[in-house]
Amino acid sequence: MIGNGDIRTPEDAAAMVALTGCDAVMIGRAAPANPWIFRQIAQYTATGAYERPTVEDRYRMIRAYFQMLLSECEATKDLPRDARIGETAGKMKQFATWFTHGVPGGAKLRAAIYQARTGAEVLDQVELFFTARAAETEVPESDSGHDPGAGPEDLAQAFPETALVCD
Ligand SMILES: Cc1cc2nc3c(=O)[nH]c(=O)nc-3n(C[C@H](O)[C@H](O)[C@H](O)COP(=O)(O)O)c2cc1C
């Protein structure tokens, strides 16, 4: 039996197992906002504690995501319109903005991403934002970037879907 519904944290997963005796849990909406949740659940099950993604983790995730998107976009640009990856890129743009929830100053990055007109510009904005952050010498303790990730409620606040083009 698989338990599913409203699992947003490792604690939720453990509670589902304890409550229902299910063999496994399935994660839906929390996964795109917090792709680390599966590792967190494994850690929590094994040790009773789990790591939160740092700002650097988020940066690597966003950058890898966009690099994959751009290379797929490039690889499919000669295909018929319906088969191009660019048609689904707007959705992936939303995902990248969700990853920035929990990053201090992330609202600025989300605004910049929203203004960007091409995939390359989006990636540039991501690089600029995180390079500037890394250059900051003093980061308050509260800005350590540890955050379990955006919750499913953030999915409802997503940016309007926008087409992202290769060039
Ligand atoms: C955007 C979206 C699409 C979904 N599509 C399907 C689907 O095609 N088939 C299905 O059985 N469940 C679908 N679901 C339900 C999920 O599999 C899951 O049961 C539900 O989201 C509850 O889990 P969660 O609280 O972890 O998100 C969908 C849910 C969402 C949010």
pLDDT in tens, the chain (167 residues): 999 999 999 999 999 999 999 999 999 988 877 889 999 999 999 999 999 988 888 888 888 878 887 887 778 778 777 777 654 456 566 766 677 777 788 888 888 887 877 778 888 888 898 888 777 744 444 444 444 444 433 433 433 344 445 54
- 16 in ligand 1 pocket by Cβ < 6 Å? no
pLDDT for res 90? 65
pLDDT for res 41? 97
Whether residue 147 is found in the same domain as residue 87: yes
Whether residue 92 is found in the same domain as residue 130: yes
Residue 109 to residue 111: CA distance in whole angstroms: 5
pLDDT for res 148? 44
> Which long-range CB contacts under 8 A does 125-133 form with residues at least 24 apart?
126/59, 126/62, 126/63, 126/66, 126/96, 127/63, 129/105, 130/55, 130/59, 130/63, 133/55, 133/104, 133/105
**Closest atom, ligand 1, to C-alpha of 29:** 27
Q: How many folded domains does the chain comprise?
A: 2
**Closest atom, ligand 1, to C-alpha of 8:** 26
Domain boundary among 31, 47, 63: 47
Indicate whether 165 belongs to any domain.
no
- 4 in ligand 1 pocket by Cβ < 6 Å? yes
pLDDT for res 159? 36
pLDDT for res 93? 65
Q: Which of 29, 38, 41, 95 to mutate to test the pocket of ligand 1 (most atoms within 8 A of CB)?
A: 29
Q: Which two tokens stand for residue 73?
A: 């976009």
Range of the domain at 97: 55-155
pLDDT for res 126? 86
Tell me how far the alpha carbon of residue 90 lies from the centroid of ligand 1, in angstroms: 20
pLDDT for res 157? 40
- 67 in ligand 1 pocket by Cβ < 6 Å? no
